[in-house]
Amino acid sequence: MNVGFNLLFSGAISAIITGGFQLYIKSKAEKELESYKQKLTIHTENLKFELQRRSHDFNLYSVKRHELYPHLCKLLLIAHGNIRALYGLRSFLSFDEFSKSDIKAYMENRKIVEGKASSILANWETNKKNAVEELRSYLRILDINDAESNLIDARNYLLISDIFLSKSVTAMSGEALEDISMVLTYTKYPEHGTHVERERLNEKIDSLLIALKEQMKKELAVSYYEDEEIK
């Protein structure tokens, strides 16, 4: 009888232990599953946030680049074109048909300072040839100043827009500006043989600006998006 009781008691204890262990395993599994679900939820939310952030970044950069790229390209073309206009075949007004009042209005339109304008007007009727030479010499200075101003405008625009530009566009624009600046230097201070280097640079700039426009078009396409392009 004692043997039977012991066996029955042992069986009951074994069943309790087995049941308890199964409950423990089940509880642990449920907790691990719940923890996994929570982690999965957090990971999913992080992915959604990252997707929204990237979408916002893309929209922001896309909008800004559609605004900045055309204007930057325009400023580079103006800077290069106005510097090129400083040399080579150029047409000039003869001023032969200009009266004193005509030349006064012309100088006011060109914003020639009063002191220089007065000097030119004083000679207009007594020594027109010298007055014209003085005027053309001063107009040359104004044209160079305007070209320098165009170059500065393009350089400043590149600097303030840099945060929204791709690395490629920044590098190509910077290189073009350096070359355009050298063309201006050779034009202001010509020396023997510098015209050859100036023309070489002009050809390089022309090719560079064409490549820059193609790069800009590529980046402005709807499908264009690269992580490394976002600074």
Provide, rounded to the nearest whole percent, the portion of the chain with pLDDT above 70.
69
Hey, what's the torsion of the CAs at 20, 22, 23, 24, to 10 degrees? 90
Question: pLDDT (tens digit, 9 = 90+) per residue, 46-70?
Answer: 544 444 455 445 567 778 889 999 9
Query: What is d(CA 75, CA 81) in angstroms, rounded to the nearest whole number?
Result: 10
The residues spanned by each domain of the chain are 68-229
Q: Residue 194 — pLDDT band, cuts 50, 70, 90?
A: confident
Hey, what's the torsion of the CAs at 152, 155, 156, 160, to 10 degrees? 170
pTM summary value: 0.69
Query: What is d(CA 194, CA 160) in angstroms, rounded to the nearest whole number?
Result: 33
Quick check: 130 and 123 in contact, CB under 8 A?
yes
Question: Over the range 150-188, which residues count as b (16 or more CB within 10 Å of their CB) and which as e?
Answer: bbeebbebbeebeebbbebbbebbeebbebbbebbebbe
Quick check: 205 and 180 in contact, CB under 8 A?
yes
Q: Which residue has better confidence, 47 or 13?
A: 13
- Report which of 202, 159, 161, 195 is spatially closest to residue 181, judged by C-alpha positions: 202
Query: What is d(CA 28, CA 30) in angstroms, rounded to the nearest whole number?
Result: 5
Query: Hunting for tokens 């409950």 — which residue is that?
Result: 23
What is the pLDDT, as a whole number, of residue 229? 46
Question: pLDDT (tens digit, 9 = 90+) per residue, 94-140?
Answer: 898 899 999 999 999 999 999 999 999 999 989 999 999 999 999 99
Q: Which residue has better confidence, 213 or 220?
A: 213
If phi over 0 gives left and psi between -120 and 50 gives alpha, with beta otherwise, what is residue 202?
A: alpha
Least confident stretch, 5-9, 10-14, 197-201, 208-212: 5-9
Query: Above 50 in pLDDT, residue 199?
Result: yes
